[in-house]
Amino acid sequence: MKQLSILALGAVAVLTACNSRPANQFDLKGTIDGADGQTIYLVYARNDSVKTDSTVIADGTFAFTGIAEVPVSATFYMGDVMNWESKTRAGIYLEPSEMTVTGLTAEDFSGAKISGSRTQDEMYEYEALIRPIQEEIKSVRQAMQGADQLARPALEAKSDSLGNIYDTMTIEFIKSHPASYYSAVLLNMTAGHMSYPDLKAAFDGLTPEVQASAEEVAQELEVLESIQPGKPAPDLIGNNPDGKEIRLSDLKGKVVLIDFWATWCGPCRASLPHVKSIYDTYKDKNFAILAVSLDRDQDAWKEFINTQNSGLELYSNVFDEGGKNSDNYAIQYIPSKFIVDAEGKMVGRFDGEEELDAKLAELVK
């Protein structure tokens, strides 16, 4: 009897070993109509490289198996992967689990239904939450296209208000899903709209595992930390239109207004008269302006400075070759204006003209 029990236990162990799957393995199975004999592809990131797998559809089914230590964004498709308008492509969050895809046809993947991926489920949850506000924003922006000058300001204000609601709903979703890898995706998308304290609070609220997958947000926080008020201003280095190297550090001893801009940026050009008025007010005091161009074309930048009488010709200009200066200041949008005090320390970022004027009046004596 004892011998039988040992044999039984051994058989159970063998069966368990045969049926077990590695903890980091994903299995994706799907059904598709009318595509037998065609090839379906799966592309996803793996160990800092892109992996593409393929299989031939048979009897209306297909299957992929691979490794995914953590959830990863992937695309399954038929045809040309570079055809972004193709109807035979769909996204999925692969994760170490058993997943299924249904609702596909040889002509259209838009009806794809994915199950077995927790991250995918959380994406569906977020999309359902945000869909009503997306529809409102779409409606207002369509109305703006045909609006006259009298109606447009109210529609722009409505669009901005809805955009703020959209961001708030996204942030609240992130906070309520700290263990979701999709929260890391959303935080990366929303980071440019968030203040440093709000971004840090949202990131700190994520679980360590999810934080590890949000590397870009962590890097953004590191840069934002370095330009907080009171921190030494990161040096700005670039050539002026004459090819001479200009450095922010060479202006130490003066209050400096840094203006990140570009010739192709409408709001930047619209703000130039105000910057010129600031220069006229403080040009005889311990004050300087450093304009940092994010233009792609140096010739267009030089021509604008030399021909437009915008005021730029009166102050220091540098071309941000390679974008290093804008990276060091976490530039997500332009125009972006900063003040550095006479000791070379950050005072802050100032988007509003009144706020900017008030701070300069306080600092420049």
What digits encode the pLDDT tens for the residues 211-247?
Answer: 999 999 999 999 999 999 999 999 999 999 999 999 9
Same domain, 283 and 354: yes
- Find all residues with CB under 8 Å of 307, minimum gap 6, and list them: none
C-alpha–C-alpha distance, residues 322 and 108, integer Å = 41
Same domain, 296 and 359: yes
How much of the chain, in percent, has pLDDT values that exceed 90? 84
Same domain, 111 and 135: no
- Mean pLDDT for 19-43 is 92
| Token pair 């609220």 in the structure block, residue | 205
**pLDDT greater than 80 at residue 123:** yes
- Last residue of one domain, picked from the residues 226, 256, 273: 226
pLDDT in tens, 137-155: 999 999 998 888 888 899 9
Instruction: Indicate the pLDDT class of residue 17, thresholds 50, 70 and 90.
Output: very low
- Find all residues with CB under 8 Å of 222, minimum gap 6, and list them: none
Same domain, 241 and 305: yes
Query: What own/partner pairs with CB < 8 Å and gap ≥ 24 does 190-196 have?
Result: 191/216, 191/217, 191/220, 191/332, 192/332, 192/333, 193/167, 193/332, 194/167, 196/221, 196/224, 196/225, 196/228
Is 177 a domain residue?
A: yes
Same domain, 111 and 123: no
CATH classification of the domain holding 249: 3.40.30.10
Same domain, 156 and 112: no
* pLDDT given for residue 315 in this prediction: 93
User: Which residues partner with 287 through β-bridges?
Assistant: 255
Is 170 a domain residue?
A: yes
pLDDT in tens, 52-66: 999 999 999 999 999
Same domain, 260 and 348: yes
pLDDT in tens, 270-321: 999 999 999 999 999 999 999 999 999 999 999 999 999 999 999 999 999 9
* pLDDT given for residue 19 in this prediction: 54
Is 232 a domain residue?
A: no
Is 276 a domain residue?
A: yes
Output the pTM of the full model.
0.82
Instruction: Indicate the pLDDT class of residue 184, thresholds 50, 70 and 90.
Output: very high
CATH classification of the domain holding 38: 2.60.40.4150
Same domain, 207 and 270: no
Same domain, 140 and 95: no
- Mean pLDDT for 103-129 is 97
Same domain, 188 and 124: yes
* pLDDT given for residue 12 in this prediction: 45
C-alpha–C-alpha distance, residues 157 and 91, integer Å = 34
C-alpha angle 125/127/130, rounded to 5°? 110
- Find all residues with CB under 8 Å of 234, minimum gap 6, and list them: 226, 227, 328, 329
User: Which residues partner with 89 through β-bridges?
Assistant: 77
**pLDDT greater than 90 at residue 84:** no
- Last residue of one domain, picked from the residues 91, 116, 141: 116
Is 2 a domain residue?
A: no
pLDDT in tens, 188-205: 999 988 889 999 999 999
**pLDDT greater than 60 at residue 8:** no
Is 184 a domain residue?
A: yes
Is 6 a domain residue?
A: no
Same domain, 254 and 324: yes
Number of domains forming the structure of the chain: 3
Question: What average pLDDT does the chain have?
Answer: 92
**pLDDT greater than 60 at residue 105:** yes
Is 194 a domain residue?
A: yes
Instruction: Indicate the pLDDT class of residue 28, thresholds 50, 70 and 90.
Output: very high
- Last residue of one domain, picked from the residues 83, 101, 116: 116
* pLDDT given for residue 48 in this prediction: 80
Same domain, 246 and 354: yes
C-alpha–C-alpha distance, residues 315 and 293, integer Å = 13
Q: State which residues form the domain around 210.
A: 119-226
